[in-house]
Amino acid sequence: MKNKTAPIGIFDSGIGGLTVAKAVMKALPNEDIIYFGDTARVPYGIKSEETVRRYALEITDFLLKKGVKMILIACNTVSASAKGEIIAKAGKVPVLDVITAGARAAFDQSGHKQIGVIGTLATVHSRAYVSAINEINGGAEVIQKACPMLVPLAEEGWIENEVARQTLQEYLKEFEEYDLDALILGCTHYPLFKEIIPQILHSQRTVVIDSAESIAETSSGKLQELNLLNKGGGKFDCYVSDRPQRFQELAERFLGRKLQDVSVINLS
């Protein structure tokens, strides 16, 4: 059994997973967190599944050596391609992923029947959200839309300006003929736009599902179930595989707080 004071490990191909880290900090302020961003090999979406699995297992090994008590896959591409292998490698260490958390959250509201998903091209083409949703409710209708331009807008900090609004309007046109029960933000960058998305959606009753918040809530419940909640901590350590200065700059924007240090680790 892991020590309660052991950290939670969170990883992503880059900086998008920091929205997950931020949500975990809010839900579990007493937990120590180790975050790894694979900035040398981002983006994962254009890599083969075999390559993504290899990268993900290398990162998993790194986090396990750090003694984490839980691993959060804060990358939709990894969640779609390598979740099973990560669970097997982690052994008794629980593993949670953003796709499963987001899909479940879509039904926690009221058993939704018509669900929209926006994500990157790789996530949409993988149909991982469709599979996860159908496992929960085979009768649900899932409408997907790839929104690749949202990632560079988020990283540029163009969140609420006219360019962002017009881009979202163009993408969300896909859902105008539907009366969605829920819209899942299927990319960890997308929660940065969650304040303006409801203003643009055709259906005002649509519940916007933030997978970062969903996995944070699931993490809290799982740690409580395992009696692993920490009562005093809150340390946040960041590791990347390249470009620590750029990562720190973007991370501070994503997190809304200063970082003391970002360490570079070569996994290959």
DSSP state of 160: S
**d(Cα 5, Cα 57) in Å, to the nearest integer?**
24
**d(Cα 121, Cα 187) in Å, to the nearest integer?**
10
- The residue type found at 103 is A
DSSP state of 7: P
Q: What is the mean pLDDT of residues 192-207?
A: 87
- The residue type found at 105 is A
Residue 203 · residue 180 · CB < 8 Å: yes
pLDDT in tens, 60-106: 999 999 999 999 999 988 998 899 999 999 999 999 999 999 999 98
Q: Is the pLDDT of residue 268 over 80?
A: no
Query: Domain 99-211 adopts which CATH fold?
Result: Rossmann fold (3.40.50)
pLDDT in tens, 30-45: 999 999 999 999 888 7
Domain-wise residue ranges, the chain: 8-97+214-264, 99-211
pLDDT in tens, 202-240: 777 899 999 899 999 999 999 999 999 998 888 999 999
In the chain, where does DSSP find H-type helix? 18-27, 49-65, 76-90, 98-108, 121-126, 128-136, 150-156, 162-172, 197-200, 211-225, 244-255
Q: How would residue 155 be classed by pLDDT, with cut points 50, 70 and 90?
A: confident
Q: What is the pTM of this model?
A: 0.90
Which residues have a catalytic role annotated? Answer: 75, 187
DSSP state of 33: E
Place of tokens 């360490």: 263
Give the residue among 210, 205, 181 at the shortest CA–CA distance from 194: 210
pLDDT value of position 69: 97
Query: Domain 8-97+214-264 adopts which CATH fold?
Result: Rossmann fold (3.40.50)
pLDDT value of position 29: 95
- The tokens describing 71, both together, are 């691993």
pLDDT value of position 110: 55
- Asked if domains 8-97+214-264 and 99-211 share a fold, the reply is yes
